[in-house]
Structure 1
Amino acid sequence: MDAFFNPYYVDIVVFLIIYMMLGLGLNLMTGYAGQVSLGHAAFFGIGAYSSAILSTKAGIDPWISMILAVVLTFLFSAVLGLPSLRVREDFLAITTLGLGLIIQSFFKNADITGGAYGIDSIPPLSLFGTKLDNTGVLVVVALALLASIYALRKMTRSRIGRAWMVIREDETVAKAMGIHTTYCKVLVFAIGGAYAGAAGALFAHKMSFIGAESFGFTVSATVLSMVVVGGLGSIRGTLFGVTLLYLLPELFRLFKIDGVDMKYIDMYKMMLYGLLMVVVMRYRPKGIFGKTGMKTKSCRAADEDRSADRETKGVKERVDPA
């Protein structure tokens, strides 16, 4: 099949889809549940290293190792989500940033992860003993993305999804409504982490080599930018934001632009991301496809009652100045 498709373009689409899965997990946590995370790359790395270690050192089949990696990431994410029970908003973001840096440091120094050398010779995906080519891997990641989108739509439209959105708007109100906020917050971290773990496992077997540098703060910040630009609380917003910000740097490679030195492509990329963030926050604070929010009927009625009270009071003051 690779004879009919340019391997370079196929690789771009494969990694684009992997980042989409990573973005969907973060959007579930931040966009739907309001749990801001700056350490999402840590979950990405846990999934990648878990699958790599299980397949290279334990000799487990890559397909099984990927499933186990998702389960392990789910459990680790639930534990790492415990700080969300005590801290919120900016403090939660700083806490997750610290956790992400700690986990990356572990990747760099632990013997089981290969330390600074990373893990190589990760077995590629195969089917019936035949190694999948680039197009075959593309089909696998595309199916994984479709399953991820379907599961996310089902979750966000379910009772637990509505509970997450109430917690996002006001945790105190959520508790007053009888929502078990502790369970909901830990669960959303676990599921969001599992999405990142699945993306990490696919990334590891596609690359055949992983190192700690692939799971640092830059990745977390990049994915958060993608989600915010596309729109918090929106699946299509995540897909659009990831596509936009992932493909923009590739344009510099595809089209030779005067004055652009390819040695500094990473610097240009971060500058471009920052500029887009500023523009989007200025004109579309909730992102390009973000939900602007609508008042409920009771809220609108309350606003109308307050307006009527103000008008009545103004009439009384004009009739009786004393």
Structure 2
Amino acid sequence: MDDLFNPYYVDIVVFWMIYLLLGLGLNLITGYAGQVSLGHAAFYGIGAYTSAILSVKYGWNAWLSMAAAVVVTFLISALFGLPSLRVREDFLAITTLGLGLIAQSFFKNAEITGGAYGIDAIPAPSLFGTALKNTGYLLLVTVVLIAAVVIMKKMTGSRIGRAWMTIREDETVAQSMGINTTYYKVLVFAIGGAYAGAAGALFAHKVSFISGESFGFTVSATVLSMVVLGGLGSIFGTFFGVTLLYMLPEMFRLFEFELVDPKYLDTYKMMLYGILMVLIMRYRPKGLFGKTGAKLVNIRRSAVKPLDKGGDRVA
């Protein structure tokens, strides 16, 4: 089965799906709940290192270590979400950026993470005695992605999702409606982080070697660009944004273009991301396929008009 498809193309699709998981998690935090995060790569790294450490240094089965990585990232992400209870918007973005940089510094210097040398020889998960590589790993990541999308659709279409969108549009109104904003803001960081943790675990067992360089601010900025371009609060928008910004540079690698020097492809990529972000922020602040919960909030506002002294609603 592993020889069914070209390994190079399989790797492209696998890493595309991993970025989709990252994008979905960030879209929950920023797109649905309105909590701006510039440290999403920290959750990604926590998931990767947790699974790598458990499987390499403690001899855990790869399946168990990946499952544990999701749980650990869920819990740590909830702690990362605590600053959102005190700061908002630009201040929250700077705070999460700082937390992300602290996490990367820990990855690079801590003994348990291998420091600057990282962790290698990370085993691939096996099924019925056969290691999942190439096509087998592609099927595994596909199953995880489908499950992630289904769970996200269920959550965002439920009471939890409506609470997140109300908080995004107006936190004061959400509180006046009786929504426990503390609970829902921490919850969205935890769940969004768990998505990134799953992506990190899949990444670690795919590449078999990780280091702190793989989880820096550039990853956070790239994923945020993908989510904002595609559309805040839209699953389809996440797929579109990730596909466009991830696959476009790969097209330049697959096909030769005289105007593009492959040596400077990463520079061109970041320039392209920057230009697209400026255009999107100017003309489509919610993204190409972004959704707004303003209508929902306006309806709720009419239901919580202040009372006059007689107990009647004020017109």
Give the TM-score category using the shorter length: over 0.9
Query: Is 273-282 or 182-191 further displaced after alignment?
Result: 273-282
**Residue aligned with 1:133, SS:** coil
TM-score, reference length from structure 1: 0.91
In the other structure, the counterpart of 1:188 is 188
Deviation string, structure 1 residues 244-303 (Cα, Å, up to 9, x no partner):
10001111111111132212111111011111212222332211111255636966xx9x
Amino acid at match of 2:211: G
Residues 297 and 47 of structure 1: is their aligned pair in 2 closer, same or farther, counting only changes over 3 Å?
Answer: closer
Q: 1:315 maps to what in 2?
A: none
Please list, as runs of the form range in 1=range in 2, the aligned pairs for 1:94-243 lying within 5 A after superposition. 94-243=94-243
Q: Which runs of 5+ in 1 are unaligned?
A: 303-322
Distance 1:14 1:22 in 2: 13
Distance (Å, rounded) in 2 between the aligned partners of 1:180 and 1:39: 24
Matches within 5 A, 1:15-164: 15-164=15-164
Provide the residue aligned with 2:6 in structure 1: 6
What amino acid is aligned across from residue 288 of structure 2 in structure 1?
Answer: I
**Which AA in structure 1 matches 2:190?**
A
**Distance in 2 between the 1:200 and 1:128 partners?**
24
Structure 2 SS opposite 1:290: coil
CA offset digits 1:78-123 (Å, max 9, x no partner) = 0111000000000000000000000000000000000001000000
Query: 1: distance between equivalents of 2:298 and 2:119?
Result: 57
Q: Give distance in 1, aligned partners of 2:298 and 2:58.
A: 58
- Secondary structure in structure 2 of the residue aligned to 1:60: coil
Larger radius of gyration: 1
Structure 2 vs 1, CA of residues 259 and 174 (structure 1 numbering), >3 Å: closer, same or farther? Answer: same
Q: CA RMSD in A?
A: 1.5
SS in 2 for 1:37: coil
Q: Percent identity?
A: 76
Instruction: Give the aligned residue type for 2:5.
Output: F
- CA displacement 1:223-249 (0-9 Å, x = unmatched): 000000000000010011001100011
How many Å separate the matches in 2 of 1:20 and 1:73?
A: 17
2:56 is aligned with what amino acid?
T
Aligned residue for 2:295, secondary structure, equals coil
Worse-matched range after superposition: 121-130 or 51-60: 121-130
- CA deviations 1:187-216 (Å, max 9, x no partner) are 110000000000000000000000101000
Aligned residue pair count: 301
CA offsets 1:129-160 (integer angstroms, 9 cap, x no match): 11112001000000000000000011111111
Structure 1 residue runs of 4 or more that deviate by more than 3 Å after TM superposition: 292-299
